[in-house]
Structure 1
Amino acid sequence: MNVTIELLVKNRGSEGVSNLSVEVSPMSEFLKVWAVGGFAEGSVHHVGYLEPGGERRLKYSVYIERNSYPGKYGLKITVYDVYWNILATKTIYIEVITKG
């Protein structure tokens, strides 16, 4: 089963951020993640420069394997700068109601 998620990344600071990247990592072997559109590579969106107050909408495709069990499965969202310093992280969950 495929699910599409959309994230809004916003710069709330007073300075622009260069070479920004956003990665979504599955926290379970039952999930696979791909970044969709833009400058995407695997599960990473390369946003580039984000001006103060600027925002970007990013799409990801999440594949849930057929043999997954009902329950919540985590996705870790990490925002990096050009030197791969972690600027922010957040965990979200996808809930599987029925098997297969």
Structure 2
Amino acid sequence: MVRIVSGKLKIQNGTGILMRKFSVQSSHLASSIRERPSEDLHYRTIHHKILNEDMRVLLFDDILTTGNTVRACVRRILDAGPTPINVFTLSKTRCSQ
């Protein structure tokens, strides 16, 4: 999907620019809110390869549960400097307390 959308928008496909140092539990699979990984945990596990200040970013996330992964990715991208960031998600889960 990313390849198709980036081609239609005529923007660089940046798949692989953000990478995890190690895996964390998926929020939508956690049985309670306490078991869901925090934004800070996501942030510590994500690093980026090459980001330029003038890049425009379209961030794809398959499932949005708490938003912690997306917020951590946005923080990591902004570490490289201010850049326009748009987020596209395919699905939103119910976040029960």
User: Which protein has greater RCO, CA pairs closer than 8 Å, 6+ apart?
Assistant: 1
Highest Rg: 1 or 2? 1
Q: Normalising by the residue count of structure 1, what TM-score does the alignment of the two structures yield?
A: 0.33
Q: Greater strand percent: which structure?
A: 1
Q: Greater helix percent: which structure?
A: 2
